[in-house]
Amino acid sequence: MIIDKEHNSYFRVYVEDVDHMGIVYHANYLYFFERARTDMLRDFGLSLTSMAKYGTHFAIRDVHIRYFHPARLDELLTIKTKCTRSRASTLEFRQLMYNQTNHLLSEVIVCVVCVNDHLKPKRLPDTLLKE
């Protein structure tokens, strides 16, 4: 079961991620967090492409993000991802972003909804729910 399991992902900040001051552009934090959630799902045996073949997709319902300190060019980031809640068709994730000195940079709470090809809610795959 994915609930309460923590997953770590690691990313380097490149020029494409930053603004003219060498600081990660605020919207780009969401890219890092998305990649970390995708890595977590993959490590639990679910690739987004294989899910799509069966008409199963994830759509973002809510995002709440807080910025504490800026992420900067060439920093190595660690994103700790934890699924904190599941319901029939939704998962809630809490993600924390740290730099290489273990400074907390950002936190996001994301709620994703499992949907079918017609964007209607669908039960979560058993792979996520079984022990």
- Rounded Cα gap, residues 47 and 105, in angstroms: 28
Within 8 A by CB and 6+ apart from 50, the residues are none
Out of 19, 43, 62, 74, pick the active-site residue: 19
- Rounded Cα gap, residues 114 and 24, in angstroms: 30
Q: What share of the chain is helix, strand, coil (3-state, %, to 5)?
A: 25, 45, 35
Q: How far is CA 54 from CA 16, 41, 44, 47, 57, in A?
A: 34, 16, 17, 11, 9
19 is catalytic: yes
Catalytically annotated residues: 19
